[in-house]
Structure formats: structure tokens, C-alpha cells
């Protein structure tokens, strides 16, 4: 009897598989959906592993990037158009330096002020205000030389002040988007930055081309070396409005896109909820 008890006690007691294991292995006669498989499918579709597709699934990042791309196109268009506006609308090519200085100097000086404004009123509201100010300044510039040089320089200064905010605010919103995406966002911070940099480079390239398309539509004739080509009224109109109304329209589109960004003011409350939701899927 004693030996039988010893042999029985020495026999290993294998654990019985749980219903959850049967459900995941498919051995159960009544299989249930496996939670780990659902989460794996979710990860493949909207990305716990950072991929371009996971960025596309992030609505906040998609809206923010689209708005910033439009802003980048607009700002590079304006910088490319300034020499044409100075020479053909104002009649003095030397004013190009004055316009660029009136644009860039306020942009540098206003950056610290925009930091204070963002802390007081929020990033989103500050950015939308700057974009609206840019539209207003562009409409003033559309008046052309008849408005007078002082008013035009003041309008360019407004564009420069707005430009500072449109560089500062969107870039400061990217970390908020990354944090709100939970662990997947933190792991993919580098890829988010890569997509953002690509959008900025694309805007830098497209801006001058958009203005070139405006000049071509107006019949602009390029000057040769040592010879100043006379421009038609259509070309002069394209020079003025390509520098003013076209940027105003593009910036209005950027405002419409930016208004769909809803993360500002909720960055610290959205992120923990996202983390809980991600953990529930595991």
C-alpha cells in the first residue's frame, strides 16, 4: 500500500488546459473569438507597430499634417513671389530686400511672444488666429501699389508675425499627437517626425511651382539677360493676385483643415484613456 501511494504521488499532475486555451487553439467544440487575435488584427490595421498606415489611421496627425502641408506651400509661394511683386507691381526691384526683411525680422522677434500667447490661450486658438491674420494681410496686399508702400510693408509685417506662429504651433502639437497615441505613438515618434519632415519638404518644393503656374496662366514672359521684357495686363494681374489672393485662398483651406484638429486642451486627458484602451486589447 505504501509503495502504491509513493508511485501515485510521484506521478506528475499535468495541468488541465483552460477553456481560453481551447478557444485560441481551435480545439474547443464551441470555439470563441480569441481576444489576442482580435488585437493582433487591430494592430495590423491601425498599427501598434509604427508604419505609414498607422499614421494614416491617426486622425489627429492626419489633419495636422494636411494643414501644415498647405501652410508650407503657401509660405514658400509668398517668398518666391516677393521679387516679382516688388519689381512689377511696386516698380522697384530693390524693394525685394525691404519686403523680405519686413517678413523675416518680425517672424524671428515674435516667436517668444507666441510662446506666451499659446500658454495663455492654447495652441489651437493661437494658430487659427495667426492663420486668419495672414489671410487679412494678404487681402490688404491685393490692393497693390495703390495702397501705398507703408501700408504694404505693414501688411507684410503681419504676414511675418503670423508665419512665426505657423512654424511654432504645429511643430509643438506633434508631441501631443504622439502622446495621445499611447505606447504605439511613443515607439513611433521617429517615424512621425519623418512624415512631418517629408510634408515640410513637399511644401517647400510645391510653393514656387504653384506661383509659376499662376504666372504661366497670366502669360508672363521671362526676361533675358540684360533685357527687361514688357508684360501684358494679364501677366501683371497674375503677379499681383498670385502673391496675394492665391495665398489667401490656400490659407483659408489650411484653416478649414486645422479646425478639425481637436486634441488641443485634451492632451493630458486623452493619453491615459488611450493607454487604458490599448491595454484592454491585449
**Would you say 89 and 80 are in contact if contact means Cβ atoms under 8 Å apart?**
no
Do 80 and 210 touch, CB atoms closer than 8 A?
no
- Please state, for a pLDDT cut of 70, what percent of the chain lies above it: 69
Helical (H) or strand (E) element with 122: none
Residue 230 is given by DSSP the state -
Q: Which residue's C-alpha cell is 526676361?
A: 223
* CATH number of this structure's domain 46-258: 1.20.1250.20
Among 192, 208, 210, 71, smallest CA distance to 133 is for 71
Cα-to-chain-centroid distance, residue 220? 33
The tens digit of pLDDT for each residue in 5-29 reads 444 444 444 444 444 443 444 444 4
Mean pLDDT (whole number) for 193-213: 93
| C-alpha to C-alpha distance for 277 and 2, rounded to whole angstroms | 56
d(CA 126, CA 118): 6
For residue range 44-84, list pLDDT tens digits in order: 444 444 444 445 557 888 999 999 999 999 999 999 999 99
Q: Report how far Cα 198 is from the mean position of its chain's Cα atoms.
A: 10
pLDDT tens digits along 136-154: 999 999 999 999 999 999 9
Taking 70 as the threshold, does the pLDDT of residue 245 lie above it?
Answer: yes
pTM above 0.75, yes or no: no
Q: What is the model's pLDDT at position 281?
A: 36
| End-to-end Cα, the chain, rounded Å | 50
Task: Provide the residue ranges of all domains of the chain, joining segments of one domain with +.
Answer: 46-258
Q: Rounded distance, CA 208 to CA 222, Å?
A: 15
Residue 50 DSSP SS3: coil
Amino acid at each position: 500500500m505504501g509503495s502504491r501511494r509513493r508511485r501515485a504521488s510521484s506521478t506528475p499532475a499535468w495541468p488541465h488546459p483552460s477553456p481560453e486555451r481551447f478557444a485560441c487553439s481551435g480545439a474547443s467544440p464551441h470555439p470563441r473569438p480569441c481576444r489576442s487575435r482580435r488585437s493582433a488584427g487591430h494592430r495590423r490595421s491601425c498599427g501598434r507597430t509604427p508604419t505609414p498606415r498607422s499614421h494614416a489611421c491617426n486622425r489627429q496627425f492626419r489633419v495636422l499634417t494636411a494643414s501644415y502641408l498647405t501652410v508650407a506651400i503657401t509660405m514658400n509661394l509668398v517668398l518666391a513671389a516677393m521679387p516679382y511683386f516688388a519689381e512689377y507691381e511696386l516698380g522697384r526691384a530693390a524693394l525685394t530686400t525691404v519686403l523680405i526683411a519686413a517678413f523675416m525680422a518680425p517672424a524671428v522677434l515674435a516667436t517668444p511672444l507666441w510662446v506666451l500667447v499659446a500658454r495663455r490661450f492654447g495652441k489651437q486658438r493661437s494658430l487659427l488666429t495667426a492663420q486668419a491674420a495672414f489671410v487679412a494681410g494678404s487681402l490688404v496686399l491685393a490692393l497693390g501699389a495703390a495702397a501705398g508702400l507703408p501700408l504694404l510693408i505693414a501688411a507684410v509685417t503681419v504676414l511675418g508675425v503670423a508665419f512665426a506662429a505657423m512654424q511654432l504651433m504645429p511643430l509643438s502639437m506633434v508631441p501631443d499627437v504622439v502622446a495621445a497615441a499611447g505606447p504605439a505613438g511613443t515607439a513611433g515618434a521617429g517615424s512621425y517626425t519623418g512624415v512631418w519632415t517629408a510634408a515640410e519638404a513637399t511644401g517647400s518644393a510645391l510653393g514656387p511651382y504653384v506661383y509659376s503656374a499662376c504666372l504661366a496662366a497670366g502669360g508672363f514672359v521671362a526676361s533675358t539677360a540684360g533685357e527687361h521684357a514688357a508684360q501684358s495686363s494679364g501677366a501683371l494681374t497674375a503677379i499681383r493676385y498670385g502673391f496675394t489672393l492665391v495665398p489667401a485662398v490656400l490659407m483659408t483651406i489650411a484653416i478649414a483643415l486645422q479646425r478639425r484638429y481637436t486634441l488641443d486642451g485634451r492632451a493630458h486627458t486623452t493619453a491615459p484613456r488611450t493607454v487604458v484602451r490599448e491595454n484592454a486589447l491585449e
